[in-house]
Amino acid sequence: MIKDDTLDWWSKYFASIEEERRKKHSTTSPSSSSSSDSSNTVQKVAVATFKELEMQKEFGEFQDRLTTFKLWKGRKAEDFDDDTEGFMGKFKGHISMYRWPHPENLSCKTRHGRDAVNGICDDYVPQQSIRLLVRLYVIKGINLHPKDILSGKSDPYLRISLGKMYINDKKNHIPNQLNPTFGRVFELEATFPQDYLLSIQVWDHDATSTDDLIGETQIDIENRFYSRHRAKCGLAKTYETSGYNIWRDREKPTQILDFLCKKNNLPTPIYDREEVRIGKHRFPFRMNVCNKVDREECMALNVLHQWQEFPICGCALVPEHIERRPLFNAARPGLEQGRLEVWVDMFPVGNLPPRPAVNITPLEPEEYEIRVIVWNTEDVPLVESQFLTGEKSSDIYVKGWILQEDRQKTDVHYNSLTGEGNFNWRFVFRLVYSKSENVMVVRKKLSIFATNETEEKLPCRLHLEVWDSDHFSADDFLGALTLNLSKMPRGSANSKNCTMKLLEPKLPTVNLFKATRLKAWWPLVRRTENVDYVQAGKIEMELSALRGVEANENPVGKGRKPPQELPFPKVRYLQSANNFRARLEVSPQVTILPLSSFTLSSIRV
C-alpha cells in the first residue's frame, strides 16, 4: 500500500461512505477509485458503519455478561415504555438456570474451559469500582429537525453528560445547518457502576430566546465495557504504526490475543512463518510484512478478525466503526429528529496511558480557480438555412458555468458550414473546494434579514452548452456537456475517437484537483424527441485547477484578454450580404477594409 501524507482520518471516513454507497447499489465500478495516475493509487482503509451498535445482531445488545432489567412500581401498565411515572430504575445482573448435576453424570466445562463444579457462570463482573477514560467522537449530524421557522434551518451544538460530568459546547454552534459537521472529541472520566449512561444531546442555539432541544441519544457504556465482544475500542482493519491509520488501541493485537487465550483457558498462540497456531486451530496468513514485530501484530489481528469462528468461546469482536444513532425528543415521542454519527472509546485508568485521540477536526476548504480554455468544436449540428444558397449552417457560441450566478460565454463563430468552431476563449471561475469531501462549499445569506451565511455543499460540476446565435429569434440549443471535476471522464486525445462511450460511468475517471491540468476532446450530447441521448458534436478544451494563492501569483484574463492573452483563431470567416463565404488565412495585424457593394456583418479574427 502506497503511503500518502496528504491522507487523514477524513480520507478514511469518505472511503467508508463510498464503500457503503457501492454496496447499496451493488456495483464495483472501477471509476470510484480511479485517479489521474494509476501508479500512485492509494488504498484508503474504510471503517464499518452501523446504526446503533447495540442493535447489531452479532453483538446481542451487549447483554452477554450484564442483562438490564427495568424496575417498575405498582401494577403493570399496558405499555411499560409510556408508563414513565412507574419507572423506578434499572437492575443489572445475569440469571442462568441449568440442571445439576448432569442427567448422564458427564463432566461439564464452562465456556472458558474450566470445571463446571465451581459454577457455570465463572465470568462475573468485578465487585469493585472501575475508573476509566471515555472518549466520545462526534462526527456530524444528518437531517436534523429544523427549529428556526423563518429559515427552515437550525443552529446546532452539543451537550454531553456522563454521571456528574457535563459539557455544554454552545460556543461551537454551527449556524444555519441541518447536516452539520461537528468533528469534535470529548474526554470524560467515569466510574462504574454509577456512571454508566452517556447522554448526547443536540440543541438549537437561539440569540433572542431560550435554546431548543433537537434530539438526544443515550449509550449504556457499562454493558459495552464488560461485554465479551470487546466494545472498548474497535479493531482496525490493518495494523499501522504511523500515518492516518495508526493503531489507536492502548493494547497491541498480540496482547489482546494473549489475553483472550488466557481468559478462555486456551494454549498460548504460536506464530509460524505463514500461520498462527492456537492448540489444534490454525489461522493462515499470506500478507507480506517486512518487519518481524509488525508481522506478528498483523498475524494476531488476522486471528482477532476471525475470533467468532473459534468454537465454544469465540464471538464477534467489535471492529473500528461509526454509529449513526437516531435522535429523539420527549416532546415528539416516537418521531426521529435526525441522526448523529459518533463512536466511543473507553480506556481503564491504570499504568498504561491511552494513545493520543484521533484528530477528526474537519479540514478547512480551500479557494480554487478553475480555468477552462475552449479551443474548438467539431460536428456541431447545423440548424440554419442560408437565404440564397439553402446551405445548412450555424452561428456557434459556447456557454459555461459552475455556479448559476457566474455564467460566461464565448464570442460567436458565424456561418459554420461543417459544425467546426474556433474560439481560443478562456473561462475563469472562482470557488471554495473541500478536497476531503470532493465538493464545493457555497456560502451565502438566504435573505437580507439573515445574520449568518448558510453553507451548502454541492458537487463541483462544470456545465457547458453550445448554442446557435439568432438575431431576430430565440437562440437554438445545439448540445451540452456536464463534467464533475472530481470524477471527470478522461476524454480523447483526438476528435476522431471522441464518442459518447467516453461518458460511460464504468470507465476510469480523473480528479482535476489532483491532476491540476487536462487537455482533451469530449462529446456533446442532447436529447431527442424520443427522450434518447445522441451525440451533438465534440468540444476541445483545456482545464486547469489552481489554488487561490497560486492563481493570484499567476493571473490570467477572461476571453482573450491579458494577462496571458490567448491568440486569435487562425481560421476566420467573413460573411457578406450575398451570403457567400471566404476562408482566409491572415495575421491579426492585417486591417480588413469594407468591400465595395458588400456589407460585412462579422469578422472572426
pLDDT score at 19: 83
Strand partners, 348: 132
In this model, does residue 301 exceed pLDDT 80?
yes
**DSSP H helix total and E strand total for the chain:** 6, 31
Alpha carbons 336 and 143: distance in angstroms, whole number: 10
Read off the pLDDT of residues 143-181 as tens digits, 9 standing for 90 and up: 999 998 877 889 999 999 999 999 999 999 999 999 999
pLDDT score at 310: 87
**Mean residue pLDDT across the chain:** 85
Every domain of the chain and the residues it spans: 130-233+326-352, 366-553
pLDDT score at 89: 85
> What angle, 0 to 180 degrees and rounded to 10, lies between the N-to-C axes of helices 253-263 and 292-304?
50
Read off the pLDDT of residues 281-299 as tens digits, 9 standing for 90 and up: 999 998 887 777 789 999 9
Cβ pair 276, 300 in contact under 8 A:
yes
Q: What is the DSSP letter of 171?
A: G
pTM confidence score: 0.81
| Positive or negative: CA dihedral 486, 490, 493, 498 | negative
Read off the pLDDT of residues 475-503 as tens digits, 9 standing for 90 and up: 999 999 999 999 999 999 999 999 999 99
pLDDT score at 234: 93
**Given this chain, do its domains 130-233+326-352 and 366-553 carry the same CATH topology?**
yes
User: Which is more confident, 585 or 486?
Assistant: 486
Kindly report the number of other CB atoms within 10 A of residue 320's CB atom. Answer: 20
Containing 294, the helix (H) or strand (E) segment is: helix 292-304
Which residues neighbour 229 within 8 Å (Cβ) at sequence distance 6 or greater?
Answer: 58, 59, 60, 62, 64, 315, 316, 317, 318
Strand partners, 543: 372, 518
- If pLDDT is split at 50, 70 and 90, which confidence band does 586 have? very low
Half-sphere exposure of 255 (CA within 13 A, CB side): 6
pLDDT score at 573: 44
Strand partners, 463: 401, 482
Q: What is the mean pLDDT of residues 324-339?
A: 94
Alpha carbons 152 and 144: distance in angstroms, whole number: 11
In this model, does residue 115 exceed pLDDT 90?
no
Q: Where are the alpha helices (DSSP H) in 4-116?
A: 9-25
pLDDT score at 96: 74
Q: Cα torsion for 573, 577, 578, 579, to the nearest 10°?
A: 30
Read off the pLDDT of residues 227-241 as tens digits, 9 standing for 90 and up: 999 999 999 999 998
Of 36-50, 67-81, 309-323, 486-500, the one with minimum mean pLDDT is 36-50
User: Which is more confident, 139 or 587?
Assistant: 139
- CATH 2.60.40.150 fits domain 130-233+326-352: yes
Maximum Cα–Cα distance for the chain, whole Å?
Answer: 122
Kindly report the number of other CB atoms within 10 A of residue 300's CB atom. Answer: 23
Cβ pair 513, 497 in contact under 8 A:
no
In this model, does residue 219 exceed pLDDT 60?
yes
Alpha carbons 428 and 323: distance in angstroms, whole number: 42
Q: What is the mean pLDDT of residues 309-332?
A: 92
CA distances from 339 to 49, 50, 152, 190, 234 (A): 13, 12, 18, 25, 21
Domain 366-553 fold: Immunoglobulin-like (2.60.40)
- If pLDDT is split at 50, 70 and 90, which confidence band does 521 have? very high
